[in-house]
Chain A
């Protein structure tokens, strides 16, 4: 069929039949003809050229590009490259921009994309590559004698790289290095300057080494042949083959510092030849990769990338070297280059912070043996004699002549000769001048005995030559006035010697004597100390003297040789001059000292502070403390160790894990303990007890009343009361009262027990204190119980107490508390129990004792305790419980008192009518209040004591 159809030939356009035209086409045509324009806007529909509806309502699909309201592709949103990763998880597709672009976008992008054209081939790589490919292709086509790919060397790119061509156009020729003339001249200048500097600093080291290595590598090549061709601007680019001799074990061409150039500098500094360069390159390291905030980082261990360097990362064990180098660095920014040399040796230790030198280095440090010292070497410096002296020393000795017959002349000649030898020719001239008329001195002028004098002089010079060379040199240099001496003096900070010396010297012999003395003055002090002393004029009253003084000062500070009668005071007598000089010296000293005093705070400190500051690292803060006086120490010893005891509540799980019984089992969690010392005195158990007492009250009550000790309990309560009730701290009690009890209770209570006398209260407080201090509460308890156990029928107070609701908890708690608080201490509990047993036994004996006796006996007790207290307080001073604790205790006591008085106030205000009833009978209640107070303190005391 298909083949048949192919045979047909069609001419012209076929006529479209009616049915072929789709309805939508018709519609679009109609639309185009404006048929539908009459429709209301909301009825109009937008259609494409084929009449298809592309826009649907937002809820019926939105825009449809033909694929049923999806993206314009069959796959819809499914990415083209999507493959299930379930099976091939590891396969990671490299995605790029094109993966996310549509075809049209790609086409669009291609128009804008940049590509390198063959024409622009800077280094000729592309050309070379092309050429090689071409060669390979050709090789495949035609058989070759040598099988395999053509070696790269043979294939040379046909074209020059564009870079080369550009360079050629700019005047560069092949075989020349690329280098701007400007840099080279600049470099020359630098180099010259450095050379000059080195020459000036007169260092022994070869002047080339230092600066050369500091230069960048590519400069080094040209630096070697730099001075030769200054004319031509372009230098031969002789390839530098051996720049860095290979000293490591890495593979050829492997650069271990590829990503970390900071290390390269370090490596270079390690190399023996590059010591100087190493430290010169050090500074950039500081803001390099490892510039930590602190330099005292432990060597060897960095911290995680996500962690910050904290103070705790500082290496407390760091050696002092790092620190020293650090100090040096900051404080001496301007220093002579000679001194700079010290640094690298110190710095070598630190290298890079965060890294430590490997224990076994991969390169061997070249070591050279120290130069062999010749056997005959004498380690003593000989001052080089100056030209003149040398000349004189080496001059041929005059012929030996017999001494003149005249013995005195002979002695004179010899004496003069020694003197001249010692003091120089100056003396000879002077004496010649002086003694021109004297026939005895004819030998100086070539007269009688001249030859002998010459001979003696030579001998004397030979003799004294060694001894006095420095001196002679001093004079010689001065005479010859060589520039080298001056420059040398400048370097050494020496004041040039005065040249006009010869004229002023009155008596050469004394001069030589003075010379030695003045020599010390020839060294000028550092310029910082050469202060103009004009400000201070100690001799203002005498202008001439002041002038002389100034002259003196000038000379003193500027140094140099000078005559004694400087300042033209030749008129003055010798003694006056000496006296004046002494004065001047004293004044000068005073001035300098005064100045020092002033300066020491400012500039002096910064000069002297340098060694001091450096020394600081070696002094420890504890040193001063060590030198405390013996008295203090003994005091300390008596003070420490100081023992305190606190309540501490272990967590129940902790007890469980320790296999112990929780001492606080079944008690509500304590409130958080406050940090302050004073607050730590308010114990948590107060709250604990207060809260627990309510629940325990009833059970305790029933228990106790049910027991055979029933009656005793009531009475013993009154006895115990004194000691124990106190365990209730007012505050929590008040709190609970406020919460749980009505005012009516209070009323009832207060109506029964009117508030007590404040004075009595104080007294009670005192007694409390005394008892507390006296200490053993249990003992007193036992005694009291033994003493005053009321008879069975004297349970009278009980009903009254029971009538008041809050009373009961108190009572019961009194009974309960001691047991409770002592439950940890088995011994005490036993004691208490035994004491209670005692009471039960004594019970029968002391049937007739009354409650009132209780009070009186407690009075006795009080007095007894007071005396005890005095005793204990007197010896308590030296005891472990320090004043501190006592203070606290007392302060707390006061607080308590205040509180209780507040309590009372409240009572008073609410029940003012009862205030008049201040009778003894109601003391039972009031006493309870006292006891509250007192026992409170006691409880505290017990804590201290425990």
Chain B
């Protein structure tokens, strides 16, 4: 496969975070993005013009993950302060703080209707929080994990989470089943393919693994990058043709989905690439790094 159309030119550098940026996420339509980092702030940007729009400050420690509702009205975020914050985008105020995790919260996601926030914590649990009621108690705690839960993805009917215990667990709400796919390697990050049929798991043995969701079959392994000790993101391109992943040496890799060959790779940052996020429609990828910068790459 050719590397045509893959982003490789730096379009913008979003500077403003002091210290490592740990997460960078596009919103639903890809016009805006949110980043969170060690400086305990969440920042809202226009990545296509490189403009910093707003800063959300309230976290007591580093922000590890952030997610925005499809209607761009609310943000949820989590981090080292063991809380999940539920923000109002326009006012920048915290609507609710969900306390309950016994340890740092690694990842957070809204469900489809933005009515539930699911958070994954270092305390080996997934917690679902209700945004509709005023309760700050979790409506569900899933604690079948044996180790820190690093990443969570939600579909319409399922909660999928990857854990350091090496499993990717799918909780199907519709039938009340838990499917556990043991990969044998600590799972750092999981990412769903856009068609929802596959799940991409970044393992700490410097391998990305693509699993078939229905059968649990290992479809492909992607190697070449370094991922041994940091929480790093991976994702698929919006066409599901390539797999994108960062590396600890500051490079960004693009693999062909099918034959797992490295199609493109370039040095994006001077330090660990913590987060990669692909634009939902355009050929645009956003990378965040420990070096404190967020870069937007376009074709």
Contacts and interface: CB of A to CB of B under 8 A. Distances in A.
A660 B140 CA distance: 15
Given A639-B184, A641-B182, A316 B230 contact: yes
Q: Range of interface residues on chain A?
A: 35 or more
A641 B179 CA distance: 12
A657 B133 CA distance: 11
B181 interface: yes
Among A313, A625, A657, A660, max chain B CB count under 10 A is at A657
B149 to A, nearest CB: 15
Interface stretch (A196-204, A642-650, A739-747): A642-650
Interface in A629-678: 636-637, 639-651, 653-655, 657-661, 663-664, 673
Contacts of A649: 176
Contacts of A659: 113
A117 interface: no
Nearest to B289: A317
A935 to B, nearest CB: 21
B96 to A, nearest CB: 15
Nearest to B230: A316
B128 A654 contact: yes
B19 A300 contact: yes
B13 interface: no
A651 B140 contact: yes
Nearest to A643: B216
Given A300-B18, A312-B80, A654-B139, A317 B180 contact: no
Contacts of A315: 38
A444 to B, nearest CB: 72
A812 to B, nearest CB: 23
B286 interface: no
Contacts of B230: 316-317
B220 to A, nearest CB: 12
B132 A657 contact: yes
Q: Range of interface residues on chain B?
A: 35 or more
Contacts of B18: 300-301
A207 to B, nearest CB: 41
Contacts, number: 148
A402 interface: no
A510 interface: no
B239 interface: no
Contact of B180 (A298, A312, A643, A660): A643
Given A298-B38, A648-B142, A650-B173, A317 B290 contact: yes
Interface string B214-243: 011110000000001110000000000000
B144 A658 contact: no
A647 B173 contact: no
Interface stretch (B66-74, B83-91, B201-209): B201-209
Contacts of B182: 640-644
B256 interface: no
A657 B139 contact: yes
A645 B184 contact: no
Nearest to A306: B60
A558 B228 CA distance: 50
Contact of B173 (A316, A621, A660): A660
B272 A317 contact: yes
Contacts of A657: 111, 113, 115-116, 128, 130, 132, 139
A620 B174 contact: no
Interface string A754-791: 00000000000000000000000000000000000000
A673 B217 contact: no
Contact of A654 (B173, B181, B204, B218): B173
Contacts of B175: 663, 824-825
Contacts of B132: 657
B161 to A, nearest CB: 12
A303 interface: yes
B143 to A, nearest CB: 8
A622 interface: yes
B263 interface: no
Among A298, A300, A621, A654, max chain B CB count under 10 A is at A654
Interface in A347-373: 356
B60 A307 contact: yes
B178 interface: yes
B179 A645 contact: yes
B20 interface: yes
B126 to A, nearest CB: 11
Nearest to A621: B228
Secondary structure type dominating chain B contacts = loop
A768 to B, nearest CB: 24
Contact of A640 (B111, B139, B183, B271): B183
A655 B171 CA distance: 12
B156 interface: yes
A658 B109 CA distance: 13
Contacts of B181: 641-643
B271 A317 contact: yes
A880 interface: yes
A622 B183 contact: no
A654 B204 CA distance: 32
A562 B174 CA distance: 92
B247 to A, nearest CB: 14
B229 A650 contact: no
A658 B140 contact: no
A626 interface: yes
Contacts of A299: 19
Given A648-B177, A660-B157, A824-B176, A637 B218 contact: yes
Given A307-B60, A643-B216, A301 B205 contact: no
A891 B44 CA distance: 56
A626 B176 contact: no
Nearest to A645: B179
Contacts of B113: 657-659
B211 interface: yes
A384 interface: no
A304 B62 CA distance: 12
Nearest to A636: B184
Contacts of B65: none
B54 interface: no
Contacts of A625: 205
Interface in B142-180: 142, 144, 156-157, 166, 168, 171-180
B128 A663 contact: no
Contacts of B205: 622, 625-626
Contacts of B184: 636, 639-642
Among A640, A647, A648, A651, max chain B CB count under 10 A is at A648
Interface string A302-337: 011001000011011100000000000000000000
B178 A646 contact: yes
Interface in B227-285: 228-230, 271-272
B39 A300 contact: yes
B174 to A, nearest CB: 5
B173 A653 contact: no
Nearest to B135: A653
A825 B181 CA distance: 21
Rank and list the top 8 A-B pairs by shortest CB-CB distance, nearest first: A643-B216, A648-B178, A824-B175, A640-B184, A663-B176, A642-B182, A317-B290, A651-B140
Interface of B: 18-20, 38-40, 60-62, 80, 103-104, 111-113, 115-116, 128, 130, 132, 139-140, 142, 144, 156-157, 166, 168, 171-185, 204-206, 209, 211, 215-218, 228-230, 271-272, 290
23 contacts: A298-B62, A300-B38, A301-B18, A301-B19, A301-B38, A307-B60, A316-B229, A317-B271, A317-B272, A622-B205, A640-B218, A644-B180, A645-B177, A646-B144, A647-B177, A648-B142, A654-B116, A654-B140, A657-B116, A658-B111, A658-B157, A661-B174, A824-B174
Given A307-B60, A650-B173, A658-B115, 20 more contacts: A317-B272, A356-B19, A626-B205, A626-B206, A637-B218, A640-B184, A641-B183, A642-B184, A645-B179, A646-B178, A647-B178, A648-B144, A657-B111, A658-B112, A658-B116, A658-B156, A658-B157, A663-B174, A680-B144, A946-B177
